[in-house]
Amino acid sequence: MVEKYTEENIRSLDWKEHIRLRPGMYIGKLGDGASQDDGIYVMIKEIIDNSIDEFVMGFGKSIEVIIEDKTVTIRDFGRGMPLGKVTDCVSKINTGAKYDSRVFKKAVGLNGVGSKAVNALSSYFQVQSIREGKTKTVVYKRGELETDAPICKEKELKQGTIVTFTPDNEIFGNLHYINEYVEKLLWNYVFLNN
Distance of alpha carbon 129 from alpha carbon 160, whole angstroms: 6
Is the pLDDT reported for residue 168 higher than 90? Answer: yes
Q: Which residues, in sequence order, are CB contacts of 157 under 8 Å at separation 6+?
A: 130, 135
CA triple 186-115-124, angle to 5 deg: 95
Mean pLDDT of all residues in 171-190: 92
| pLDDT for residue 104 | 44
Is the pLDDT reported for residue 28 higher than 70? Answer: yes
DSSP 134: E
* Strand boundaries in the chain, DSSP class E: 63-68, 71-76, 122-131, 134-141, 144-148, 152-153, 160-167
Is the pLDDT reported for residue 142 higher than 80? Answer: yes
* 3-state SS class at 45: helix
Question: Cβ(41)–Cβ(186) under 8 Å?
Answer: no
The architecture that CATH gives domain 14-192 is 2-Layer Sandwich (3.30)
| pLDDT for residue 112 | 62
